[in-house]
């Protein structure tokens, strides 16, 4: 009897708990985030696009039925960093990605343990999906310098390892070198590869066949590249990629149970290059194919809204539409963007700049949120917000306190009050943005200060092309939204305030709240004892050396205690200084200092000019690589070892290369790499000091054996 009573009580408790959980889940909104690609501030009618050129009724519907933000910003003016920030609430420049975007072959950039939109919502009972462009990497890198994502194998870790239940996506970009889709952990429809026999990887159904083709060539890529991955899988058909992604997203929505909330991270490839509108849309827009491509994006948004309505969940779904960065602006060539510009379409409105830039046109994007019953229809907010704030806002919506700012969501601030129209103070007092070249800018109130310092590794051509962005500048974006007048000379106190704040946020590790001031430790320069053995070569390089040293052309000068090489603009092979040096086992020592150079290579000749290998040193990387030998193809290059390093400009660092048999150890300051290869054990007879992009200096060369 007691057991029967206990069982009844237990059953009641379980029923109550399950019921409470179901009621709690039903009170949570479904969340759909639509992150478009390269879609500028002025590209939709709701933000001023001329309806005679493009029509965006579905995007505009979000503005009419929800709230439109006029000062929403991405964290970066290129895609991968913004995508990282949206999902994690953290500026991507806090990671190893200091400029540019991730490679098609990069490992997963979000740590599996890091709080993100998917893991946060999954914890609260949401079913989660990432459909569309991914561009955040797959797999986990090893110490092998030749490691890269293997698309013939299981792509893990990936989206499913950070909280997503389902993934269907374009690995990197529209027109990337893969030419395939990925579903969950494998290339979609992969027929053969590095996976166990007997496993059949799911592929396109009969209703998807029109979205694929049997081949994928250079003409299908963004810039006509030819190194297409030889994958045995159905190939993407560019003009049907948007249709395929929309199909997968809407089908996933249809499959969701009504009693469980869901989160869809939908990332269309439009309006990224190549511009490939579907045949039924091509030729319809007076703005040309780029206008048609915008129409394709709008149709996709409409497909998502229709799926929500058919499912009967539109009234309990928050839909957010934005972009990963500003639009591509071209004015004087034959590209679709140029044709659109000449037709009168201002993809970034009146803003200065474009994708990649530090100007507002690179960051300020459309941002519309519809949430029936919670967000006032047809309303507008002028609050400054960032896509990094989506995570903190989501956490507040579901009632989940964020971890401390030094643990997660480091740069995310909730804009829920602004979304609902209840904000009594600005959502953000300040915000950091970051260009493709690694230039930081910080906004506070009407002010925007551009630090003007590009990241290490930015090529000389980019430094010349974007020189106007590579100097400190202050703008009053309220009085001067086009950023035409630098007012730093008139407001030095503002410059200093913003400079100090930027450094504090950058060094402090977070900006969700004001971090403590970090006192940077003086960098320690490694000291190395003199190598034992007979001295083969010794030169302080306090002046330009004579024979047996041979300099190519006149791009070598002695200054500041060393010998400095500078690449001539017309010289693609860099500055070169050659000296004979004979050793098999032994040690090569020297010091190096960078003054704008992209990288330095010490090319070491072996045998009777049979071949060479090189030690590569840049401010960001140290590597050991075998060059093609006599009779080998030009691409017969083998990476032997590689490791990240961080070297400051205009600082002397020691370099030591030790050979023993077929092994070599390279030490650059406090970073060491080791490699093994037959060529490393050959007799070495000459050293070539090469400098690429601007200048680098050398001193105290010493070779022993």
Counting Cα atoms < 13 Å in the Cβ hemisphere of 270 gives: 28
pLDDT at 21: 44
| Nearest Cα residue to 182 out of 141, 250, 124, 229 | 229
Q: Tell me the C-alpha to C-alpha distance, in Å, between residue 617 and each of 463, 505, 510, 646, 680.
A: 20, 30, 31, 10, 18
Structure confidence at residue 1 (pLDDT): 45
The pair of three-digit structure tokens given for residue 400, joined into one six-digit string: 């989940």
What secondary structure does DSSP assign to 83-150, as a single string? HHHHHHSS-GGGSS--SS---TTPPP-S-TTS--HHHHHHHTT-EEEEEEE--S--S---S-TT----
Q: Which domains does the chain have, with CATH numbers?
A: 28-426 (3.40.720.10), 437-520 (3.30.1120.10), 535-704 (2.60.120.560)
Compute CA distances 567 → 465, 541, 550, 602, whole Å. 17, 18, 16, 15
User: What's the whole-model pTM score?
Assistant: 0.93
pLDDT of residue 25: 52
Cβ-in-10-Å burial (0-12, 13-18, 19+) of 465 comes to: exposed
The pLDDT of residue 456 is 84
366 strand-pairing partners: none
Among 29, 81, 27, 70, residue whose Cα is nearest residue 46: 70
> What is the C-alpha radius of gyration for the chain, rounded to an integer number of angstroms?
28
Residue-wise DSSP of 423-487: -SS-S-SEEEEE-TT--EEEEETTEEEE---PPTT--HHHHHHTGGGSS-EEEETTT-TT-----
pLDDT digits (tens, 9 = 90+) for 191-228: 999 998 888 999 999 999 999 999 999 999 998 877 89
Residue 419 to residue 400: CA distance in whole angstroms: 18
Q: Return the pLDDT at 423.
A: 87
What pLDDT score was predicted for residue 401?
97
Q: What's the helix, strand, coil split of the chain in %, to 5? A: 25, 25, 50
Q: What is the pLDDT of residues 448-488, one digit of tens each?
A: 999 999 998 788 778 888 899 999 999 999 999 999 999 99
What was the pLDDT predicted at 462? 82
Q: Which residues of the chain have pLDDT under 70?
A: 1-26, 553-554
């Amino acid at each position: 009897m007691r057991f029967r009573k206990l069982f009844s009580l237990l059953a009641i408790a379980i029923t109550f708990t399950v019921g409470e959980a179901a009621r709690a889940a039903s009170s949570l909104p479904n969340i759909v985030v639509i992150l478009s690609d390269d879609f500028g501030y002025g590209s939709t009618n709701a933000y001023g696009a001329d309806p005679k050129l493009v029509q965006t009724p579905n995007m505009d519907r979000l503005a009419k039925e929800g709230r439109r933000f006029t000062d929403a910003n991405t964290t970066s003016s290129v895609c991968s960093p913004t995508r990282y920030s949206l999902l994690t609430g953290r500026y991507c420049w806090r990671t190893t990605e200091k400029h540019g975007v991730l490679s098609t072959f990069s490992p997963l950039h979000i740590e599996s343990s890091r709080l993100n939109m998917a893991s946060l919502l999954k914890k609260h009972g949401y079913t989660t999906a990432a459909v569309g462009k991914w561009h955040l990497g797959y797999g986990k890198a090893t110490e092998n310098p030749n490691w890269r994502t293997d698309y013939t194998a299981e792509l893990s870790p990936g989206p499913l390892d950070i909280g997503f239940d389902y993934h269907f996506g374009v690995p990197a970009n529209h027109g990337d070198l893969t030419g395939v889709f990925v579903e969950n952990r494998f290339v979609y429809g992969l027929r053969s590869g590095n996976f166990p026999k007997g496993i059949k990887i799911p592929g396109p159904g009969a209703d998807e066949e029109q979205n694929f083709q049997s081949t994928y060539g250079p003409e299908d890529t963004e810039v006509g590249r030819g190194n297409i991955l030889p994958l045995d899988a159905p190939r993407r058909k560019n003009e049907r990629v948007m249709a395929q992604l929309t199909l997968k997203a809407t089908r996933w929505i249809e499959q969701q149970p009504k009693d469980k909330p869901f989160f869809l991270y939908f990332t269309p490839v439009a309006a990224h290059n190549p511009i490939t509108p579907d045949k039924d849309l091509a030729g319809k827009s007076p703005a040309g194919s780029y206008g048609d491509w915008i129409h394709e994006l709008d149709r996709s948004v409409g497909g998502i809204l229709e799926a929500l309505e058919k499912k009967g969940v539109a009234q309990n779904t928050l839909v957010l539409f934005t972009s990963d960065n500003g639009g591509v602006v071209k004015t004087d060539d034959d590209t679709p963007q140029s044709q659109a510009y000449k037709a009168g379409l201002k993809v970034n409105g009146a803003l200065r700049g474009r994708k990649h830039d530090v100007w507002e046109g690179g960051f300020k994007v459309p941002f519309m949120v519809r949430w029936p019953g919670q967000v006032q229809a047809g309303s507008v907010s002028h609050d400054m917000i960032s896509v990094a704030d989506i995570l903190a806002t989501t956490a507040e919506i579901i009632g989940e306190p964020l971890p401390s700012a030094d643990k997660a969501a480091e740069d995310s601030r909730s804009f829920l009050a602004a979304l609902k129209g209840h904000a009594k103070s600005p959502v953000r007092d300040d915000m950091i943005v970051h260009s493709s070249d690694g230039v930081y800018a910080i906004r506070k109130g009407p002010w925007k200060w551009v630090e003007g310092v590009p990241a290490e590794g930015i090529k000389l051509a980019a430094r010349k092309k974007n020189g106007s962005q590579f100097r400190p500048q202050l703008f009053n974006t309220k009085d001067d939204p086009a950023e035409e007048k630098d007012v730093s000379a008139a407001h030095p106190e503002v410059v200093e305030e913003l400079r100090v704040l930027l450094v504090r946020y950058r060094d402090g590790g977070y900006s969700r709240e004001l971090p403590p001031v970090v006192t940077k430790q003086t960098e320690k320069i490694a000291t190395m004892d003199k190598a034992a053995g007979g001295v083969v070569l010794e030169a302080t390089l306090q002046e330009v050396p004579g024979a047996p040293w041979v300099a190519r052309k006149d791009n070598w000068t002695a200054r500041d205690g060393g010998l400095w090489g500078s690449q001539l603009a017309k010289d693609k092979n860099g500055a070169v200084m050659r000296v004979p040096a004979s050793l098999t086992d032994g040690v090569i020592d020297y010091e190096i200092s960078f003054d704008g150079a992209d990288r330095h290579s010490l090319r070491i000749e072996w045998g009777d000019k049979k071949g060479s290998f090189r030690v590569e040193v840049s401010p960001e990387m140290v590597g050991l690589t075998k060059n093609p030998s006599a009779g080998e193809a030009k691409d017969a290059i083998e990476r032997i070892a590689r490791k990240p390093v961080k070297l400051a400009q205009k600082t002397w660092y020691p370099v030591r290369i030790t050979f023993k048999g077929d092994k070599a150890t390279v030490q650059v300051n406090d970073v060491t790499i080791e490699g093994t290869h037959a060529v490393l054990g050959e007799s070495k007879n000459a050293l070539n000091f090469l400098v690429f992009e601007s200048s680098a200096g050398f001193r105290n060369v010493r070779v022993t054996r």
